[in-house]
Amino acid sequence: MVDVYFKKEISYIFEGKKLCFDVAETLFSTFDIDHGTDVFLRCIDPISTPKSVLDIGCGYGPIGISLASKFPEAEITMVDRDLLSVKYTRHNIKKNGIKNAVVIGSVGMEMLEDRQFDLIVSNIPAKIGDEAISEDFILLPYNHLSENGELWFVVVNALNRLIPKVASKYKLHITKVRDRKGHAVYKVIKKL
């Protein structure tokens, strides 16, 4: 990629398939796929094959693109508030020959407020504050799940104190799926 922001290419093996991601100097985790994303991708296992997937805060696209390769019949939507992330995700979709994914510039779900998804995923940014995490990465996405839809997310362990509080306050049955080396993966299923 010829681009003044380009830093390097990262390779990642996901379910036996090699994916390649070009990354920009200022984006999140430009040395390698970050540990939280890796833990997340190695344990995500939705109950049923999703038809629609949303990746919130997609960065340069590792989660959404990996899931697009896993679920080729699903429609994958990725969003990020950072336009450089959107640019690199769009490039990485093409680079990996992904045909079932799009990326949109959006702060949280603001550009998707009328849509529902079978699966919503995120590597939640730790530094945006408890209220933004609760609202934009748990509660609003939960409300945009289809019946029996699943919300899966990974957080740094410092946020483990927040997740049970959100679950209790809003009566969500959030399950910890894995806790490994500084990151925890959670899921919640929407039952109507």
* DSSP codes joined into one string, 108-139: TTGGGTT--EEEEEEE--GGG-HHHIIIIIII
What's the DSSP call for residue 74? S
> What would the pLDDT profile of 116-139 be if each residue is shown by its tens digit?
999 999 999 988 999 999 999 999
CB atoms within 10 A of CB 75: 16
Give me Rg for the CA atoms of the chain. Answer: 16
Q: In CATH, which of 3.40.50.150, 1.10.8.50, 3.30.530.20, 3.20.20.70 is domain 6-189?
A: 3.40.50.150
Question: CA 89 to CA 186: how far, in whole Å?
Answer: 24
Closest to 48 in 3D by CA, of 69, 27, 26, 74: 74
Q: For residue range 34-90, what is the model confidence (pLDDT) as tens digits?
A: 999 999 999 999 999 999 999 999 999 999 999 999 999 999 999 999 999 999 999
In this structure, the dihedral spanned by the alpha carbons of residues 41, 47, 51 and 57, taken in order and rounded to 10 degrees, is -40
CA distance 68 to 99: 8
Residue ranges per structural domain of the chain: 6-189
Residue 1 has pLDDT above 70, yes or no: no
Nearest to 14 by CA among 88, 71, 55: 71
